[in-house]
Structure 1
C-alpha cells in the first residue's frame, strides 16, 4: 500500500519540522515547502495527496495558495493551520475550498485524525469520479460514503449481487440506517438500462388494502373496486420491487407472497389469469426475522425464501469512523440545496457528534445537520446548532411528546413513578384502547412503532 504524501507549507522552519515529525510518526510521508511558490513547484514535480498549509506566510499567504491549488490541482485537499483563537480566518479558508483546519498548538492525535479523514473523503470522491467516467452515468453507490470495514464489505457483496436480477435480497438494518438507499443503489447498479424502482412500505398500508396494493385488482373484485387497478408487481415489471418493513406483513399475505416468489407469477384480486412477476424483489426490515419466526409472527418458509442473499447495514453507533465523512457528504449536498456557505463543523461540535448514540442513524444525522445548516449564518456549526444531548435524543425529536393527542389520568396512591415506568404504562394503556393495533397506537401517540417492542 502506497504511503500518502503530505506537503507541509510554512515559512517557519520550526513549525515545519514539528509537523514533519508528527506526520512521520503517524505513518505518513511528509514533504516540506517554505513558501507558497515552492509548494506549487513541488506539486508540479511529484504526486501530493494532501497539503497542510499555514495561513500567515510572506509573499503568498495560505488563502492565495488554496486558490492556486484549486485552479492547478483540483481535487487535492488542503488543511489549513491557524493561530489559537483565529477561527474567522479558518472559516474564510474553508469558504475558499479548504477541507478542514487545525489550531495551534496542534494536538498530534487531532492532526492524525484530520489528515486521515481528509485523505479518505477525497479518495472516495476521486474513485467515484473515475467510475462515472468509465460508466458514462452516475455511480450507483455514490450516496453511500464510508471508510468503515464492515460497510465496505457489505457494499462489496451488494455490488456482486446487483448483477444477478433474479436473486431475492434481504436488507437488514435499524430505522434510518439507509436500507432504501442501498436498495436503490443495487437497482441502478444492475446490468442494462435503469428501469422502474417501486417501493412499498408494508407497515404503512392497512392490511385489507395491502394485497390490492401489491397485486392489483379487477373491477368488481370487492366493494369499491369500480375499475381495474395495477399493483406494484405490475408497475415494477423489468425493474425492482422493494418490500420495506416486510416483517409487518400480515401472515395470510405472507403465504401469497411466498407463492409469487416461488412460481414467479401472481394474480390480480378477482382474476384467475396468471401474470409474470418479472422483477427483482428486495425486502427490507428492522426486525430480527429469525426471532419473529420462533415467535410465530413470520412464516418460516417465507423467511428462508427471502433470505437468499442477506445484507446487514450496521447502525451508525457501530461505525462512528464514518461520521466525519458523512457530515462532509451531507454538508456538500446542503450547500447546493440551501444555496448558502457552510464552512464546516467546529471541533467541539464534531466531538459531540462522535459521543452521541444516534438512535435514528444516518437519517437522524442528516436531519440534525440540515437543522444546524439552517441555523448557522456563515460560521462553523457549533454544538448548540446540532440540538443533540448526551441522553441519546435530539431536541427536535422531543418536540412531539407522548400523549400530545391523548389525555391520561393516573392515580397511584403512595407510589412515585419514574419516567420510564410512566412511559410504559402510557404505552400499555394506549395499546389496550387500540385493541392491540400497534400502528393505530403509534399514530395516536405520534411515536414510532418500535416503542411498543422495547422491553
Structure 2
C-alpha cells in the first residue's frame, strides 16, 4: 500500500512539529520546510501529495509560492493556513489553486480531515484525467474534423446522447460519411469509455452464423459446438455494441434481436438461462429503413425500437465548408504516416475539391489524399492537376479490376479521355460492381445476385460476357 507524503511549510518550528505528529499518527509520511525556497527544493527531490502552506513566510511569500507550485507542480494539493483570517485571503488563495483554507488557531483533528479530503480529491482528479487522456488518444486516432453548421449540430447531438442514459441509437447516412466514427465518439465521450466497444458488420457475417455470433451458444447446441461461447452482446457488457449495416440484416435475426433491444435480455443458443446485459446499442445504416419496412424487407417493430434517437450524418456535398479542413487534416495525417512533406493545396485545388460531388463522401476524400501522398513523389504542393491525375489513376485501376473498393470518379475525367468509350465505361463499372458484390458475398453467386438485386441466371450471364474469372466462384 502506498503511503501518501505531506509537506508542511511554516517558519514556526512548533507549528510544524505539532502538525507533523498529528499527521504521522494518521498514517502519513511527513516532510518539513521552514521557507518557500526550502519547499521548492524539497519538491524537486520528492513526490509530494499534499502541502500544508503558511501564507506568511520569509523570502518567497505564501501567495508567490502557491503560484509557482501550480505552474510547476499542479498535481500537489495545497491547504493554506494563516493567522490573518479573512474572507479575502481565503478567496484569493482558492483562486490561485489552493484546495482548502485553515485559519490559525486550528484544530489538529480538522487538519487531518482536510488532508484526507484533499487526497480523495486528488485521487478522483487523477482517475478523471486518466479517463480523459484515453479518450483524447483514441479520438486523435480517428478525429472528427468539421467546420460546417450541419456537423456542429451533429456533434451537439453526439455529446448529449453520450452523457445521457439513452441505450439505443440509430445512426444514418450515406456510405463513407463516418457512421462508425460517430458510434466511437458516443462511446468514448460516455461513462462507458473504459468498457468494450464491439463492432458487428451485418453483411460481413453470414446470416446463418450471425445469431450464434450475437447471442453465443452452449456446448452441444449444434454440430461443432464443442464448447460454451459468449456472444458478442455479452462480450460488450458495460460498454457499447455497434451494429453496422443494420439495414442488410436478415429478417429472422432482426426478430431475435427485437427482445434484446426491448429489455436487454439474452439467451444463448441451446441454453435455458436468460441473462440481463447492460449494453448501449448503436445501429447504423445507409438505407431508408422506413422505405424498407414498407417494402417488407425490414421489420417495422424492429425499426420502432431502434429509432429512439436518430443521428443523421449529412453527405459531404451538403457540408462543403468541411471539405478544406478535412483535406488539410488528411494531408497532415498521411504526411506524418508516410514521412512525406507535401505543403498544402493551391487555390485551384481547393476549388476543384469544393466543386466535386463526392459520391463516396469523407472516405473517398481520405482515400484520394492518401493516394496522392503515397504516390506523389515529386509533389511539393497539391494542385488541381494533381487531383485530376489521382482521379485518372482511379479510373485506370478500375479497368484492371484490381481494386478492393469501388472507386468514385469525375464524369468530366471520363468524357474528355482520348480513349473514351461509353460501352467500355459501362462495362468497366458493371465489372467492378459485380466483383465487389462477389467479394462481400464470399464468392457465393446466389448471395451476390441477391445483393445486386438480379436473379442468379442474369448474374451468370454478366459474369460470362464481362470475362470475370475467379476460381473462388461457386
The CA deviation at 1:299 is: 0.5
Cα contact 2:146–2:322 (8 A) shared by 1: yes
Cα distance change, pair 277–385 in 1 and its aligned pair in 2 (3 A): farther
1:383 aligns with 2:384: yes
| Residue 395 of structure 1, CA deviation | 3.5
CA distance in 1, matches of 2:302, 2:132: 37
Which residue, out of 428, 433, 438, partners 2:451? 438
Measured after TM superposition, the shift of residue 422 of structure 1 is 6.0
Q: CA deviation at 1:397?
A: 5.9
Post-superposition offset of 1:272: 1.4
Task: From the superposition, tell whether residues 217 and 298 of structure 1 become closer, same or farther in structure 2 (CA, over 3 Å).
Answer: same
Q: Is the 8 Å Cα contact of residues 135 and 193 (structure 2) preserved in structure 1?
A: no
How many aligned positions are there? Answer: 303
Residue 273 of structure 2 corresponds to: 273
Q: Per-residue deviation at 1:434?
A: 3.0
Secondary structure at the residue paired with 2:317?
A: helix
Q: Is the 8 A contact 1:327 1:369 kept in 2?
A: yes
State the 1:425 CA deviation.
8.3
User: CA 1:402–1:241 in 2, change beyond 3 Å: closer, same or farther?
Assistant: farther
SS at match of 2:321: helix
Paired residue for 1:31?
A: none
TM-score (norm 2): 0.57
Pairing 1:86-165 to 2, within 5 Å after superposition: 135-136=132-133, 138-139=135-136, 143-165=143-165
Listed as ranges, the matches of 1:38-437 within 5 Å are 135-136=132-133, 138-139=135-136, 143-191=143-191, 193-374=193-374, 375-377=376-378, 379-387=380-388, 395-396=393-394, 399-401=397-399, 434=446, 436-437=449-450
Residue 278 of structure 1, CA deviation? 1.4
Secondary structure of the residue aligned to 2:369 is helix
Equivalent position of 1:67 in the other structure: none
The answer on whether the counterparts of 1:402 and 1:446 sit within 8 Å (CA) in structure 2 is no
For the pair shown, the structure with the greater C-alpha radius of gyration is 2
Change (3 A) 1:388 1:285: farther
| Aligned-partner Cα distance in 2 for 1:400–1:423 | 7
Retained in 2: the 8 A contact 1:167–1:281?
yes
Comparing 209-218 with 181-190, which one deviates more in the overlay? 209-218
State the 1:437 CA deviation.
2.7
Moved more, 241-250 or 326-335: 326-335
Deviation at 1:137, TM superposition (A): 5.0
Change (3 A) 1:162 1:263: same
Query: 2:244, 2:284 within 8 Å by CA — same for their partners in 1?
Result: yes
Alpha-carbon spacing, 1:397–1:270, altered in 2? closer, same or farther (3 Å): farther
> Relative to structure 1, is the Cα distance of residues 205 and 397 closer, same or farther in structure 2, using a 3 angstrom cutoff?
farther
1:71-130 residue CA offsets vs partner (Å, 9 max, x unmatched) = xxxxxxxxxxxxxxxxxxxxxxxxxxxxxxxxxxxxxxxxxxxxxxxxxxxxxxxxxxxx
Deviation, structure 1 residue 320: 1.3
Could you say if the C-alpha distance between residues 403 and 329 of structure 1 is closer, same or farther in structure 2, counting changes exceeding 3 Å? Answer: closer
Task: Report the equivalent of 2:49.
Answer: none
What is the CA distance between 1:380 and its match in structure 2?
0.2
Q: Structure 2 CA distance, aligned partners of 1:400 and 1:310?
A: 36
Deviation at 1:293, TM superposition (A): 0.5
Distance apart, 1:400 and its partner CA: 3.7
How far did 1:182 drift?
A: 0.8
* 1:325 match: secondary structure: helix
Question: 1:332-364 deviations in whole A, cap 9, x for unaligned?
Answer: 211221122121112222222112111111111
Structure 1 residue 418 displacement after superposition: 5.2
| Preserved contact between residue 376 and residue 385 of structure 1 (Cα < 8 Å) | no
Change in 2 beyond 3 A, CA 1:362/1:166: same
Range that drifts further, 346-355 or 196-205? 346-355
CA contact (8 A) 2:192 2:240 kept: no
Higher RCO, 1 or 2 (CA under 8 Å, sep at least 6)? Answer: 1
Q: C-alpha separation between the residues in 1 aligned to 2:396 and 2:296?
A: 34
- How many angstroms does 1:321 deviate by? 1.2
Residue 384 of structure 1, CA deviation = 4.0
Structure 1: gaps of 5 or more residues: 1-130, 406-415, 448-455
Paired residues of 2:131 and 2:194 also in contact (CA < 8 A): no
Quote the Cα distance in structure 1 between the aligned partners of 2:361 and 2:247: 20
Give the 3 Å change call, closer, same or farther, for CA 272–134 of structure 1 in structure 2.
Answer: closer
Task: Check conservation: 1:349, 1:383, Cα contact below 8 A.
Answer: yes
